[in-house]
Chains A and B, each alone.
Chain A
Amino acid sequence: MTTQKLTNWGHYPSIDTAVLRFQWVDQVRELLSQTETLIPRGMGRSYGDSSLFATVLDTTRFNKFLAFDEETGALTCQAGVTLAETLKLFLPRGWFIPVTPGTKFVTLGGAVAADVHGKNHHKEGSFCDHVLSLDVMKADGEVITCSAQQNPDFFETTRGGMGLTGIILHVTVRLRRIETAYIRQEIIPAGNLDGIMKLFEESADWTYSVAWIDCLANGEKMSRSIMMRGEHATLDELETAQQKKEPLSLPPRSQLNIPCMLPGFLLNSTSIRLFNSLYYHRHPKSMTKEVIGYDPFFYPLDSIHHWNRIYGRRGFTQYQVVFPMENSRKGLYALLDKISQRGLGSFLAVLKLFGPQGGIISFPRQGYTLALDFPISPRHLNLLNELDEITLKYNGRLYLAKDVRMSTYMFNRGYPHADRFKERIRQWDPRGKFASLQSQRLGVSL
C-alpha cells in the first residue's frame, strides 16, 4: 500500500489516498476483508471524483487477456486491461472495440462502470450492450457472474454503476470485425444548431457521427458547427498505396506532450474564441470526404499527452448533459444562449445524438447530448448552477463520469431509477464497503 495524492482527469479534486494494488484474485479478497471502505479505480479518466476515496483499489495491474473466440470475437479479460492494449493486440488481427469513448486509455472495468458511449450510440448503444458477461466480487468476497441473462438485476445495476456494486474482475465483450484500420469520413459544416441537428437526422444511417459546436460565437455565427461522420473503410475504399499495402496498421502518429501545468490565463474567452474561429474555418464551406486512420478519428486528443494540463492548476470539469428528444432543441438553445451571454465558453463543445438506452443508471437516453469543458473557478461554477436550472427545466441529466459538483437533487431528478439503484446497492453492500466521494455527495453511499 502506498499513500499518495490522487486526482482524476480534471485535476480537481486532489486528495490524499491510500492506494491498494493487486495482481491475483486471492489478493483482492484479502484486501477487501482488511479494508472498511474503498473504491475501485482504473485509469482515472473520469473527470471528477467518481473513483476517488480515502482508500482506492488500483485495478491496472490486473490486466491479462484470458480467452478469445476467433469465430465470434468474444474476448474475456481481467478488468484492468485497457482499450489501448486491446486495440494494439487485436486491431492488426482485424477486430475493433464495439463502442469506444473519446480516449482509449480506459480499462474495460471502467468502461463497464461508466457504461461508456461513443459516436455510434444512435445505432449501437453503449459499451455494456456488447458485454456478454461480467465477474464481479461483491462486498462479502463472493464472486458473482452476471449478464443480461444471468443475474440480470446485478448486471443492470453494475452497468453504469460507477463501481458501487463491487469489484469488476473479468469482462467478456464481443469485438467487431473490421477490414481496415481506416475510417471513411465526411466533414460537413453547418451554420447553426438547427443546421447541425438536421445533419444528425440525415446521418441516421451512418455508424459514427459527432459534431463540434462553436459555443462562443455571437449573433449570426452562434452555434456554427462541424459534423464529422464515418464508417469503417472497406479494403476497396482505401486510397493510398501505403494504406492498401498494410490495411490493418497505421503509420505512427506524431505525439505531443504538455510537460507541465500551463498558467490559467492562457485559456480565456479571447483565446478560446480565436481557437474556435480557426477550427471552424480550417474546413472548406462544403463537405470534405477523406479516409483517415482510426486513431485520429476516435481518439483525437490521445496524441496530446496530458492535454488536461492546458487548464492549469485550477483544474477543469466537463458539463455533459443529455436532453430527451422532445426537449433537445429548446434545451440546447437555452444552454448555448446562457453560455454565450456569460462569455464563458468552452473550446471543446461536442454534440452527439443518442438512441434508446438500457440499464437503470446509465447516462445516455434518446436525445441530444452536449459536452462542454470548463475550468474550475467561482464564475464557472456559478455558470454551471445556472446551466443546472436549464437542464432541470427540460428534464435533462448529467453524466456521472464527468461530474464533480452535481447535487443530490439533480441526480434524483435526472435519474428516474435512482431510488431503485440505491436500494440495490444497500441490499448487496449493507455495510458500505464500496463508496466514492461522488457516491457520498449524491447520497448513494452513506
Chain B
Amino acid sequence: MKSVLILGALSDIAQATAHRFAQAGHHIIFAARRIERLDAIVRDFEIRYKDKPEAVAFDALDCDGHRHFYEVLSTKPDVTICVFGALGDQKEEEKDFSKARCILDTNYSGAVSILHVVAADYEMRKAGVIIGVSSVAGERGRQSNYIYGGAKAGVTAFLSGLRNRLYPSGVHVMTVKPGFVRTAMTEGVKLPPLITATPEQVAADIYKAYEKKRDVVYTLWVWRYIMLIIRVIPEFVFKRLKM
C-alpha cells in the first residue's frame, strides 16, 4: 500500500484527489494549516476506506519549518501531491504589495520550499512521485489575474526543471494544469459549464495520469487545446484583449 502526502488538504481538489487515491487503496496523509478542520475528514475516510489517514499541521508560508515538517512525518510518503494555492484578489494586490507577496509566496515560494525538501529525500531514495498542481493561468499572463498567473507560471517552470533534475534518479514529477474548476476557491465566479470541471473530474484526471506516469496533464483535457490557441495569439493582439 502506497502512502500519499497531500499538502493543502482542505481544498476541494485536494479532498476529491484524496478520495480517488484512497479508493485505489492508498494510505493518505493530510497536511493543512487549520488542522482542526481535518478531524471530520479523517473520520470520514476511516469509515469509507477502512484505513485511518494521518493529519499533520502544515503551513505553506512557514518555509523555514518545511524541513522539520518533513523530517518528523511518521510515514514517509511514496507520493507527494502539492495542491495548496490561493487565488486572491487581483485588484487588491495591484494596490497593496503585501497582498501580492502573499499570493506569490503561497503559490510559488511555498511550493519551491517544500518540494525541494521532498525532492532531496526522493532523490536519495531513488523513488517517489511528486505531483504539483499549477494552473492554465500560468501559460500566459492576462490582465484579470496576472499576479496569480505569474506565480503559477513560476510553478510550472519549477516543476519542469524539477522533473528534469529528478529524472535520472527514477523519480517522476507530474505537472497538473487545471482550467476552470467549480470549487470553494471559485465561489461566486461565473464559469462556463461546458469547460468547467468538478473537483471529482480533476481528481479522476490526476489519478489516471499518475497511473500512466504522464508529465503534464490538463484538466479538463480540452484546456490543452484552448491554451494552445491562447499561446499562439500574437502579443500585439493579446495586449488589446480584455480577458
A binds B: yes
Chain B residue with Cβ nearest A23: B184
Q: Of B40, B48, B184, which is within 8 A of A78 by CB?
A: B40
CB distance from A398 to the nearest CB of B (A): 37
Q: A2: CB under 8 A from chain B?
A: yes
Q: A266: CB under 8 A from chain B?
A: no
Say whether, besides A65-B48, A68-B47, A89-B48, A1 and B187 are in contact (CB < 8 Å).
Answer: yes
Q: B193: CB under 8 A from chain A?
A: no
Chain B residue with Cβ nearest A75: B47
Chain B residue with Cβ nearest A20: B187
Chain B residues lying within 8 Å of A23, measured Cβ to Cβ, are 37, 184
Chain B residue with Cβ nearest A63: B44
B40 touches A64 (CB 8 A): yes
A21 to B184, CA, bound (A): 9
Chain B residues lying within 8 Å of A65, measured Cβ to Cβ, are 43-44, 47-48
Chain B residue with Cβ nearest A64: B44
Chain B residue with Cβ nearest A170: B40
Chain B residues lying within 8 Å of A61, measured Cβ to Cβ, are 184
Q: A333: CB under 8 A from chain B?
A: no
Chain A residue with Cβ nearest B34: A24
Chain B residues lying within 8 Å of A89, measured Cβ to Cβ, are 47-48
Complex interface residues of chain B between 179 and 216 (CB less than 8 A to chain A): 184, 187-188
A66 touches B43 (CB 8 A): yes
CB distance from A347 to the nearest CB of B (A): 33
Chain B residues lying within 8 Å of A24, measured Cβ to Cβ, are 37, 40
Q: B41: CB under 8 A from chain A?
A: yes
Chain A residues lying within 8 Å of B187, measured Cβ to Cβ, are 1-2, 21
A68 to B37, CA, bound (A): 20
A64 to B19, CA, bound (A): 12
B40 touches A2 (CB 8 A): no
Complex interface residues of chain A between 203 and 229 (CB less than 8 A to chain B): none
Say whether, besides A65-B48, A68-B47, A89-B48, A1 and B188 are in contact (CB < 8 Å).
Answer: yes
A302 to B184, CA, bound (A): 28
CB distance from B242 to the nearest CB of A (A): 23
B44 touches A66 (CB 8 A): yes
B43 touches A67 (CB 8 A): yes
Chain B residues lying within 8 Å of A66, measured Cβ to Cβ, are 40, 43-44, 47
CB distance from B200 to the nearest CB of A (A): 13
A386 to B90, CA, bound (A): 59
CB distance from A273 to the nearest CB of B (A): 39
CB distance from B182 to the nearest CB of A (A): 11
A64 touches B37 (CB 8 A): no
A64 to B40, CA, bound (A): 6
Chain B residue with Cβ nearest A24: B37
A78 to B37, CA, bound (A): 13
A23 to B41, CA, bound (A): 11
CB distance from A173 to the nearest CB of B (A): 14
Chain A residue with Cβ nearest B44: A64
Complex interface residues of chain A between 1 and 32 (CB less than 8 A to chain B): 1-2, 21, 23-24
A24 to B41, CA, bound (A): 10
CB distance from B206 to the nearest CB of A (A): 21
Chain A residues lying within 8 Å of B47, measured Cβ to Cβ, are 65-68, 89
CB distance from B6 to the nearest CB of A (A): 16
Chain B residues lying within 8 Å of A1, measured Cβ to Cβ, are 187-188
A67 to B41, CA, bound (A): 11
- Scoring A2, A21, A64, A66 by chain B CB atoms within 10 A of each residue's CB, the highest score goes to A64
CB distance from B18 to the nearest CB of A (A): 12
Complex interface residues of chain B between 30 and 62 (CB less than 8 A to chain A): 37, 40-41, 43-44, 47-48
Chain B residues lying within 8 Å of A78, measured Cβ to Cβ, are 40
CB distance from B180 to the nearest CB of A (A): 15
A64 touches B188 (CB 8 A): no
Chain A residue with Cβ nearest B41: A64
A9 to B197, CA, bound (A): 26
A368 to B123, CA, bound (A): 72
Say whether, besides A24-B37, A89-B48, A64 and B43 are in contact (CB < 8 Å).
Answer: yes
- Scoring B37, B40, B41, B188 by chain A CB atoms within 10 A of each residue's CB, the highest score goes to B40
Chain B residues lying within 8 Å of A2, measured Cβ to Cβ, are 187-188
A68 to B47, CA, bound (A): 7
- Scoring A1, A65, A68, A78 by chain B CB atoms within 10 A of each residue's CB, the highest score goes to A65
Chain B residue with Cβ nearest A78: B40
Chain B residue with Cβ nearest A90: B47
CB distance from A89 to the nearest CB of B (A): 6
CB distance from B140 to the nearest CB of A (A): 28
A65 to B187, CA, bound (A): 24
Chain B residue with Cβ nearest A62: B40
Q: List 27 A-B contacts (CB under 8 A).
A: A1-B187, A1-B188, A2-B187, A2-B188, A21-B184, A21-B187, A23-B37, A23-B184, A24-B37, A24-B40, A61-B184, A64-B40, A64-B41, A64-B43, A64-B44, A65-B43, A65-B44, A65-B47, A65-B48, A66-B40, A66-B44, A66-B47, A67-B47, A68-B47, A78-B40, A89-B47, A89-B48
A-B complex: 9 closest residue pairs judged by Cβ atoms: A64-B44, A65-B47, A64-B40, A66-B43, A65-B44, A24-B37, A2-B188, A68-B47, A89-B48
Residues of B within 8 A of A (CB): 37, 40-41, 43-44, 47-48, 184, 187-188
Residues of A within 8 A of B (CB): 1-2, 21, 23-24, 61, 64-68, 78, 89
Q: A24-B37, A66-B40 are in contact. List 16 more A-B contacts (CB 8 A).
A: A1-B187, A1-B188, A2-B187, A2-B188, A21-B187, A23-B37, A61-B184, A64-B41, A64-B44, A65-B47, A65-B48, A66-B44, A66-B47, A67-B43, A67-B47, A78-B40
